[in-house]
Amino acid sequence: MIAVVQRVSRASVTVAEPAHHAAIGPGLLILLGVEKGDGDAQTDWLAGKVARLRIFGDEAGLMNRSVIDVGGEALVVSQFTLAGECRKGNRPSFDRAAPPDVAEALYERFVSRLREVEGVPTRTGLFGAMMAVELVNDGPVTLIINTAPAPVTRGL
Residues taking part in catalysis:
79-81
Measured at the alpha carbon of residue 77, what is the angle toward residues 74 and 78, in degrees to the nearest 5? 140
Q: 80: helix, coil or strand? A: helix
State how beta strands 132-146 and 27-33 pair: unpaired
What is the amino acid identity at position 72? G
3-state helix, strand, coil in the chain (%, to 5): 20, 40, 40
Q: How far apart are CA 2 and CA 82, in angstroms?
A: 7
